[in-house]
Chain A
């Protein structure tokens, strides 16, 4: 086929003019690599946020009060001591509230004989399992008696259970050590499995709140309070009541900012959408600019190269190349170079994304989208920016090119 012969001539041409080929490829590599990195960061951020939603296990009738003021995932300070069990009791007394679960939380090392693992330890009330709708796999959950007597009992998620105990050992009744304190395993949570973004909801353990306060964490303030309203429509009113209540309890002056913040499913979703939109806008802008630059580089080098190769074009025309042959030859050159740059760019971009993931706090996630985008956009760039030089080459006057 004629078109394949032109394609072959294009590839040979690129080989013969390696300097130009490398320069043209570079422009696209940079464009596509930056696009890839931005896509990965976008995906990574989205994944992280979705993980938070999963972690908190929200329904439409619930929200959380987190200690410390500020924006959703960006508290003003990390260690806030103002949220207390009295606050939780006062919230529970509100008419529109069905259930309240106060939380303490720390990451700790668990030891069983020669096995150890690090996991999140939550101090919660027995209502926790109701509020999450989580099932027990084995044993029992924390109960009112545990709370009253501050017993040293623990319920394990599937992940720490697997890490600490060999298959053949039944964890129920075993003693494990958290810091200097021994706990008896009384229950195992049902396994949920990894989320799509790689978050592990099973990586948690639960102990009675009273025990965590006085025997393990040795602090009286809470990390958060989960609140469930009587119905989804009461959520916003309840949040207003809770705000008033907490400001009064904490003795905040009317001009002082809240020393707590809310997390609601809507709030998270809104944040996700907003940040995704902002990221998308940035993505579009940066990728467009860098691809435009790449395209212009290709176009200019191609134009220069056509001037250098004016004889070649004339000779080909002399021996029977049609205008369409010359156009396809040069268009193939630009598309191929652009595709090559695109593929190398995705490679570089993924490399950078993986680097960011491992060596920086920026969350990234490698997906297939950048490959498809690179394939599409680099072809487009090659086509759009190649057509003018190709036409220019084809419409050169063969008589003059050989003079």
Chain B
């Protein structure tokens, strides 16, 4: 079954005096367990597509079916539950809560669960261990390096055990070594069976995926399979 199904999605931003048509009829299917990268020039509409996929915004027209549910028909409460349970976000700018420890940042999604787990503390410690930050749990973002901060966001996206990870340029603010490390985690999450969708400018990053979508000017212009090669190799910094 399709985990993500989009049919003729368009998105128009209406501002006073003018409209911006950002997505112009996007249709795509993503199966459970896929590893997809979305590439394309700046302003092509990649991030916009991701906000729709992540139920942070509704399309202007078209149908979006996520895990069998038609998103247009859901209310704020149901959309929030979906974001909480099915999707983990990773952002280029990290978006960690300032002044809050890594532990509490990772704990945050658990606060909004319909039924918070009894062993929340253990789960948080576990995911932080998994990204190698067990010893930095009580540091605030200001006390962590960029690479460490991005590992915290990976832990945060994982803590609710979501089926889908949406990553918008996760390596964009990192040097090649830290970028490679983040990609290593994402590769591993995909091997665990999670669906990974990653937006990037960087061909080396895109090359980790097994399917590459290219968006230009609000439309999908190519959609082809990819055989990841030398996954252990460094991510090229030159491409970004």
Contacts and interface: CB of A to CB of B under 8 A. Distances in A.
Contacts of B109: 319-320
A16 interface: yes
Nearest to A1: B116
A399 B56 CA distance: 6
B112 A402 contact: no
A273 interface: no
Nearest to A323: B76
Contacts of A16: 98-100
B139 interface: no
B95 interface: yes
B97 A318 contact: no
Interface stretch (B25-33, B84-92, B142-150, B205-213): B84-92
A interface residue count range (under 10 / 10 to 19 / 20 to 34 / 35 or more): 20 to 34
B81 interface: yes
Given A319-B89, A320-B84, A314 B111 contact: no
Nearest to B159: A319
Interface in A297-327: 311-312, 314-325
B51 A312 contact: no
B80 A322 contact: yes
B77 interface: yes
A87 B109 CA distance: 90
B113 interface: yes
Interface in B110-143: 111-113, 116
A304 to B, nearest CB: 16
Contacts of B95: 311, 314-315, 318, 402
A12 B160 CA distance: 22
A9 interface: yes
Given A9-B111, A16-B99, A320-B112, A399 B85 contact: no
B108 interface: yes
A54 interface: no
B46 to A, nearest CB: 13
Contacts of A312: 97-98
Contacts of A317: 56, 80, 83
A320 B80 contact: yes
A244 interface: no
Interface in A43-85: none
Given A397-B57, A399-B56, A319 B97 contact: no
Task: Select the residue from A2, A12, A322 with max chain B CB neighbours within 10 A.
Answer: A322
Given A16-B99, A399-B51, A319 B83 contact: yes
Given A16-B99, A322-B80, A398-B56, A316 B108 contact: yes
A10 to B, nearest CB: 12
Interface in A322-344: 322-325
Interface in B144-186: 156, 160
Name the residue in B108, B111, B160 with the highest tally of chain A Cβ atoms < 10 Å from its Cβ: B111
Contact of A322 (B51, B57, B76, B98): B76
A311 B96 CA distance: 9
A5 interface: yes
A82 B112 CA distance: 84
Nearest to B99: A16
B56 A318 contact: yes
A314 B112 CA distance: 14
A305 B19 CA distance: 31
Contacts of A402: 56, 91, 95
Contacts of B84: 319-320
A318 B76 contact: no
Interface in A1-40: 2, 5-6, 9, 12, 16
A333 to B, nearest CB: 15
B54 interface: yes
Given A319-B83, A325-B112, 10 more contacts: A16-B100, A312-B97, A315-B95, A319-B89, A319-B112, A320-B80, A320-B83, A320-B112, A320-B113, A322-B76
Interface of B: 47, 51, 54, 56-57, 76-77, 80-81, 83-85, 89, 91, 95-100, 104, 108-109, 111-113, 116, 156, 160
The 5 closest A-B pairs by CB, nearest first: A320-B84, A320-B112, A319-B109, A399-B57, A322-B80
15 contacts: A2-B112, A5-B111, A6-B111, A12-B104, A16-B99, A16-B100, A311-B95, A315-B96, A316-B112, A317-B83, A319-B112, A320-B83, A320-B84, A320-B112, A320-B160
